[in-house]
Structure 1
Amino acid sequence: MDELINILTPEGKSTGKTALKSEAHKNGWFHATVHIWLFTSDEKILLQKRTATKKVFPGLWDISVAGHIVAGEDILTSAKREIFEEIGLQLKEKDLIKIGTRIHQVSHKNGIIDNEHHHVFIAELKVPVSELKIQEEEVDSIKLFDLDILKNTKNLENVLLPRFHDYYVSIYDKIIKYL
């Protein structure tokens, strides 16, 4: 979906301008996203398999839930909206624990230039995966993996990306500290 998003400075400040997501990706304009990592009390992590039609990282097992913050939307509202849209789970603001903001800059072979400020959250998944309903346009499937997968992605095919290993380890560390 080509949403209207706020354009940011490289430092993450508002420029007061908006653009379509496709324009931001074409021109490499900075913008904000949310990443929500859902874990269970028995040290599992929910990952989603991106659909084969996604323009970036198709078919990859990836972050539990992620998405762009639309223009005029606050960060927590965006996080809750994305969780509900992608996996049908309703969380309250108090359920979301913000663990940081991460600058992400990647140029993809298809011409998309991702210059993003990821607002990163963790939250405990307290319902069975069978009760979740995926957004089929975005998500191929969802599955619980052992939390250790965040530390051991280097030799796995199609599960997360080894080049972001340090990021995944930081998520693992925050979840373990929370548990």
Structure 2
Amino acid sequence: MGAEEIVLLNESDEAIGTAPKAESHHRDTPYHLAFSCYLVDPNGKVLVTRRALDKRTFPGVWTGSCCGHPGPGEGLRAAVRRRLRTELGVAADTITSVLPGFHYRATAADGVVEHERCPVVRAVTADAEPPVTLDPAEVADAGWRTWAECLELVRHPGSSPWYRLQLAELAPLGEPLDWPDAGSGGLPPALTW
């Protein structure tokens, strides 16, 4: 298996090529395709995770359940299912597009930049608080939290910048199980559902 590739985007969110993920995140990270996922159980609890301490970008920050980069030609749902399996060892019953237009640019304390078109999805599990198997290269810690606890995490200095930005848009939508399906129409042209 070759090195993971990210999909590079132009200002219109159209694919303009690919680049190796490992070599692309630095002080001048190119604009590229990503996603964020909030894993929710049937009782409305959300799995929050802390990124591994040796991650290249934003190590040790608290964030949603998982995030990643759809590979070239990979649909959003397939990418989410892949990352849920590899990072957390869990499966989702349903995946819903919640914030298809989300994008951000953030600079870490060490100067490394993230610059992503990052649709946000909700994945719902069949079981309450299913056990997770963390990939230590990706995730240092994880735990199931109420929505109120997720909102409180925004104030924690160790929460990721994209988590804070996403929660600002998710909070007005209500509880996680009530978030409306935004459909696939707002996804970037470079990404299929």
Q: The TM-score by the shorter chain falls in which range?
A: 0.7 to 0.9
Aligned match of 1:170 = 169
Name the amino acid aligned to 1:106.
A
Distance 1:4 1:164, change over 3 A: closer
CA distance in 1, matches of 2:164, 2:142: 21
**TM-score, length of structure 2 as denominator length:** 0.77
> Which structure's relative contact order is higher, taking Cα pairs within 8 Å and 6+ residues apart?
2
Relative distance call for 1:97 and 1:18 in structure 2 (3 A) is same
State how 1:65-80 maps to structure 2 within 5 Å. Answer: 65-80=66-81
Partner of 1:145: 145
More off after superposition, 99-108 vs 164-173: 164-173
**One-letter identity of the residue aligned with 1:98:** S
Aligned length: 175
1:7 counterpart residue number: 8
Whole-angstrom distance in 2 between the partners of 1:171 and 1:28: 26
Q: Match of 2:91, SS? A: coil
Secondary structure of 1:131's match? coil
For the 8 Å contact 1:150–1:169, the answer to whether it is kept is no
Displacement of 1:76 in angstroms is 1.6
1:116-157, CA deviations, whole angstroms, 9 ceiling, x for partnerless residues? 110210122333545321112111121011211333235435
Question: Going by fraction, where is strand more abundant, 1 or 2?
Answer: 1
- Name structure 2 gaps, 5 residues minimum: 181-193
CA distance in 1 between counterparts of 2:128 and 2:109 reads 37
Correspondence 1:93-108 to 2 at 5 A? 95-99=94-98, 100-108=100-108
For residue 13 of structure 1, what is the amino acid of its counterpart?
A: E
Give me the CA root mean square deviation: 2.6
Q: Distance in 2 between matches of 1:21 and 1:166?
A: 23
1:89 aligns with 2:90: yes
For structure 1, the residue ranges without an aligned partner over 5 or more in a row are none
Does the residue aligned with 1:101 lie in a helix, a strand or coil?
A: coil
Corresponding residue for residue 31 of structure 1:
32
Percent identity (aligned): 19
Give deviations 1:82-132, integer Å, cap 9, x for gaps.
11111111235xx00011231111233434221111021012233354532
* Distance across 1 between alignment mates of 2:162 and 2:104: 12
| Whole-angstrom CA distance in 1 between matches of 2:160 and 2:115 | 17
Displacement of 1:63 after TM fit?
1.1
**Cα distance in structure 2, aligned partners of 1:10 and 1:35:** 20
The structure with more helix, counted as a fraction of residues = 1
What is the CA–CA distance in structure 2 between the aligned matches of 1:36 and 1:56, rounded to whole Å? 17
Describe the shift of the 1:169–1:73 C-alpha distance in structure 2 as closer, same or farther (beyond 3 A).
Answer: same
